[in-house]
Amino acid sequence: MEKVMNKALFEDVALKTKVTPRTVEEIFKVVCGFTAKTIKEGNFETVMIPFFGKFKAPAKRVQNRFNKRNHIHEIIRSNS
């Protein structure tokens, strides 16, 4: 079902932007890779993708990341 939904979405965007659905799919894959990389690098910035919306890391994941980082700094300080 996901592929059918993606196909319909790609076709809709293709009509609006006057490019082929295949081009929309290729652009989407590149943008998804960029989005995932930006979020995973720890910047936790919201990434806006035109026609697709805003993407951000879940709040719980961000909090866990900062808790781990703070815990590591506490261990380093206590060993100094």
Kindly state the helix (H) or strand (E) to which residue 47 belongs, with its residue range.
Answer: strand 47-49
At residue 68, the pLDDT reads 67
The residue-averaged pLDDT of 6-23 equals 93
User: Which residues are CB-neighbours of 31 under 8 A, at least 6 positions away?
Assistant: 49, 52
Q: What is the pLDDT of residue 55?
A: 78
Region 29-36 average pLDDT: 85
**What pLDDT is stored for residue 80 in this prediction?**
59
Q: How confident is the model at residue 75 (pLDDT cuts 50, 70, 90)?
A: low
pTM of the model: 0.53
| The dihedral sign for the CA sequence 58, 23, 30, 51 | negative
pLDDT of residue 1: 46
